[in-house]
Amino acid sequence: MNRRELLALPACAAAQKPGERPNLIFLLTDDHRWDALGCMGNPVVKTPHIDGLAERGVTFTHHFVTTSICMTSRASFFLGQYARTHGVNDFATDFTAEQLAASYPQVMRAAGYRVGFIGKYGVGNRLPADQYDYWAGFPGQGRYFVERQGRRVHLTELMGEQALEFLRGCGPGRPFCLSVSFKAPHVQDEDPRQFLYDPAHEQMYAGLTMPVPKTADPRYISALPLAVQRSENRRRWAVRFGTPELFQESVKAYYRLISEVDMVVGRVVEELRRTGAAENTVIAFSGDNGFYMGEHGLAGKWLMHEESIRTPLIVYDPRLGHAQRGVRRTEMALNIDLAPTLLELAGLKPTASMQGRSLVPLLSGGRPRWRQEWFYEHAYTNGWIPRTEGIRTAGWKYFRYIDLNPAFEELYDLTKDPQETTNLAGRPEQAARLRELRGRWQAWRAHLEAWRPGQPWSEPGG
């Protein structure tokens, strides 16, 4: 389906029968930074089908993850909670029975939805296959090439086939909720080639020159603490972006993986149209964390720079009217907002343990009072990833490396310095701002540590 055909899909509340609950599809990519889509202003990457969703839906231009690592962020998507609450800070921690029951798919299943999961589960090693009506999930990172009915298939293509299989198994009278959790565009860590796209797309982006980020200059890495200069971020920079030739090939390969996801999105939308479900199916598209492409001399994610924490978020609801088509919202949305949003779209109440906010008022064109700040935390460490915490406001960012003594702090004026080139933490004229945001970090940390599920949630007061 091309973009013109996608734009021809119905978009009016009248298409939904009275009392009919919407279907929901949540598409989640892996290591997908916010600006790696055509609809987010990227002039190179080809994503016509995702761009079509944005043209028909609502794009959140400032969407963030509260922890930039896959297992913790995915737990936050499922539960609508900060990491300090759900406690998934490593690859071995499974959901408890109570947490699993409170995840958005299980709340929907209990309410009568047919629920499916495809792809990278990401939370622990105990897969809840028996808690889903359709299960094609896998633990860990998975492999990009798999055997399927005697043929070698790229994982993204296989997941597209599985998504169509799920949709074709849905019958009338029962709404569905499908979660598709891609591995792409994540690298294959142990493979020297790193970005394993489908060879059929080898020529995509060939002959183009990828622009080098301004902050890839070596002086930016020298401004960071030694713990970062010697970190996993820096090691991965060397194997992905360490030479001009390597940078060019890695960025092109990263974009090929994203374009392959876009092809699957097109197939899913076409299937919805073919089966008549398009008029009543909401599609949400996001990424589990960002991805450095050499900025600050780094690769990977984990730290609190924008490249690491900011991801795409598009919500296409065909039931909304013309005024909500192609809307771009600048409010700060978070990964913890997706679970309460999906539940409200399904006509269900978010569970009492959810700390995120439903985005439905923003999707509907409202102007509700919205968050002015949020808390970032990254507690996982393998000895080569410095732990970080901080505060992000609309115009400022403060974060610190919590294990360093003395503390190393970073402070950025995002209005004047969106690429975070100048750390203001040591500037005398910013001493008051530094104290203010340091105090907000302390308040958030204490508030989250004191809160327990079941208690009314509110953000710490200023």
The CATH number of residue 30's host domain is 3.40.720.10
Residue 422: CB atoms within 10 Å:
12
- Count of structural domains, the chain: 1
Flag whether 398 is in a domain: no
Flag whether 131 is in a domain: yes
Flag whether 392 is in a domain: no
Cα gap 284→161, rounded to integer Å = 19
pTM of the model: 0.94
| Residue 223 and residue 408 in contact, taking contact as beta carbons nearer than 8 Å | no
Confidence of residue 291 (pLDDT cuts 50, 70, 90): very high
Flag whether 461 is in a domain: no
Digit-coded pLDDT (tens) for 324-339: 999 999 999 999 999 9
Cα gap 6→324, rounded to integer Å = 16
* C-alpha pair distances (Å), 69 with each of 11, 264, 303, 412: 35, 24, 9, 22
Digit-coded pLDDT (tens) for 136-192: 999 998 999 998 888 899 999 999 999 999 999 999 889 999 999 999 999 998 888
User: For residue 423, with 0-12 CB atoms within 10 Å meaning exposed, 13-18 middle and 19 or more buried, which class applies?
Assistant: middle
Flag whether 39 is in a domain: yes
Q: Is the pLDDT of residue 1 over 60?
A: no
Flag whether 322 is in a domain: yes
Flag whether 376 is in a domain: no
Domain of residue 65, residue span: 21-369
* C-alpha pair distances (Å), 441 with each of 308, 399, 432, 444: 19, 8, 14, 5
The strand pairing partners of 286, in sequence order, are 28, 313
Flag whether 90 is in a domain: yes
Give the 3-state secondary structure of residue 59.
Answer: strand
| Residue 252 and residue 210 in contact, taking contact as beta carbons nearer than 8 Å | yes
Q: Is the pLDDT of residue 65 over 90?
A: yes
Confidence of residue 452 (pLDDT cuts 50, 70, 90): confident
